[in-house]
Structure 1
């Protein structure tokens, strides 16, 4: 089995110590992003355009030859970028935050910002502004940003990749959605606080009405378990806890993904997007990033978890074999979740990736 782990800059270490940055030298990723940037980030009202995230994962894992064919199949789901309304500026951005009618305005704003300043400076300025709205668009905007930042950190900062960051940040700003005010969920008198991320996810109470879309479900949230147990102001400890959270949420899909296999992938892919972004951010932002990632993962868990676990089988396949299966399967969520599972890289994570291939309907 290919034993891989997240590293501090978002690349992956393999068992022989080499680093897999998989920067695309074929130009396929940039071609695909250019195809996608004429489209808006949503369709059918507010369903997300997963194209940029999926093609980045495909290229990263050696599936560049399949990218344009995948896009050809996916293109019927794309809609044009909405028309602009009113220009977003440094003076009026507060009133435009969270207004989905301003998607084109926000995208244009970030295109200007990233053209005039280094992309890391733009990201650093806006990350703390956007982080409270991490639930925006069912967490897809932060996931899109995480895929883009990974590419910028491990490869060349080409014009299509910078534009992709502008699109991701613009989508997040337009769909900015803070969670309801949440109280800490006190443990039962005889129970100890959850000692691990896995235990904390198990302790997340489901929302009362398990019906409707994610916005209806998130509106029912009232409290989460307190995790980590001890508040930390140490960036390195915060990152370690974030790695733990991504692992726990990925593992949990193996046993609980049957509850809602499309939506529950985000309990892992959203915090992993935050983890991928940390190396591009000042260390002072790592602790609040952990808090937001926990809120996002717990919110998705509360909204969609089933009543109980189900058995799963081991993958009995290498990481490369599993990703090739995900690529052939074609479902965008399956591709992205398998990408995250390979970041975690252990046997349970690979089994979870196989579970996503089994549970989600194929798209090709």
Structure 2
């Protein structure tokens, strides 16, 4: 992890800005600068922030403090963004951050689909910095900002049906054998118009996958399998929507990164929520047909990170970060495909 202090400087700079702009678009800068610092590019963080600054808005005004008595009423109310961030700021100042995360993860997990999954992704980046062993005030503050954003944008998905695919299971249901086949079995939406909330409302069923998992450690393995499959799939399907399909991989990876900080009892529901997120994004933005993927040739992984920084698009940086976690040739090809498909940051 970054030992230069640059990441902390960047987070302090960003905590004066809001988690969104235009009332609907996420501030990706905290996630991107953490990813850059994690892969040896801290020296370029402030210059990148200068380029991104036009996409930042001032921190919003508060309404009323969120309390233990009324938090349920405030959950999912985006007008309470500042109130929720202040609440979690107090929480992480007064208690160990792992205790705060363990208490609130099961409360927030059912609503990880709000904000186009960006809140949970922001939390995953924050947790990675803290698991690195350096618990500075800016890094604890970043966890508070991520959790507060998640609480304000909390949006559950309920009533999903299951699609019968793959092999029969012992209980008579049908499931896909692997994450790759499960994602392949996700049917595209018939009507692929509108933004993320509109499309999400049209997702009514996803294939059964990993419902038979009972061992938390197997759940962690399956989640890693899902991240790999979704990252690989971007190499052949990213042209369906070069920006939004990134989240089919980065959302479950955020959950995977958080598991070591959570009690093992929370790993099973975490796998299931992450699967629904990845499958839903796949349904919402899948192209009509895949294209062949091209191996990255002799380009080293660290050179791909540098290319992502030069390109500048925040989603390119975040998918490259996830591809580095996966670490194989097709993951690197997915990162390069994202560079090719995406508009550079001006």
TM-score where L is the length of structure 1: 0.92
> Structure 2: 5+ residue runs without aligned partners?
none
Residue in structure 2 matched with residue 308 of structure 1 by the alignment? 289
**Which one of 224, 232, 241 corresponds to residue 243 of structure 1?**
224
**Which one of 248, 256, 273 corresponds to residue 292 of structure 1?**
273
Report 1:1-364 matches (<5 A).
23-187=1-165, 193-228=175-210, 231-316=212-297, 317-364=299-346
Asked whether the 8 Å contact 2:167–2:175 carries over to 1, the reply is: no
Tell which deviates more after alignment, 334-343 or 180-189: 180-189
For residues 24 and 227 of structure 1, the distance between their equivalents in structure 2, rounded to whole angstroms, comes to 37
Asked whether the 8 Å contact 1:180–1:221 carries over to 2, the reply is: no
For residues 327 and 112 of structure 2, the distance between their equivalents in structure 1, rounded to whole angstroms, comes to 25
Asked whether the 8 Å contact 2:35–2:321 carries over to 1, the reply is: yes
Shift in Å, 1:231: 1.4
Shift in Å, 1:249: 0.2
May I ask how many residue pairs the two structures share in their alignment? 341
For residues 175 and 64 of structure 2, the distance between their equivalents in structure 1, rounded to whole angstroms, comes to 49
Shift in Å, 1:189: 10
Asked whether the 8 Å contact 1:88–1:105 carries over to 2, the reply is: yes
Tell which deviates more after alignment, 37-46 or 311-320: 311-320
Q: Classify the secondary structure of the residue corresponding to 2:202.
A: coil
For residues 72 and 123 of structure 1, the distance between their equivalents in structure 2, rounded to whole angstroms, comes to 31
Residue in structure 2 matched with residue 12 of structure 1 by the alignment? none
**1:189 and 1:158, CA in 2 relative to 1: closer, same or farther beyond 3 A?**
closer
For residues 41 and 27 of structure 1, the distance between their equivalents in structure 2, rounded to whole angstroms, comes to 22
For residues 290 and 312 of structure 1, the distance between their equivalents in structure 2, rounded to whole angstroms, comes to 28
Shift in Å, 1:300: 0.6
Q: Classify the secondary structure of the residue corresponding to 1:219.
A: helix
TM-score where L is the length of structure 2: 0.96
Shift in Å, 1:47: 0.1
**1:189 and 1:62, CA in 2 relative to 1: closer, same or farther beyond 3 A?**
closer
Shift in Å, 1:141: 0.3
Residue in structure 2 matched with residue 19 of structure 1 by the alignment? none
- Structure with more relative contact order (C-alpha pairs < 8 Å, separation 6 or more): 1
For residues 362 and 207 of structure 1, the distance between their equivalents in structure 2, rounded to whole angstroms, comes to 29
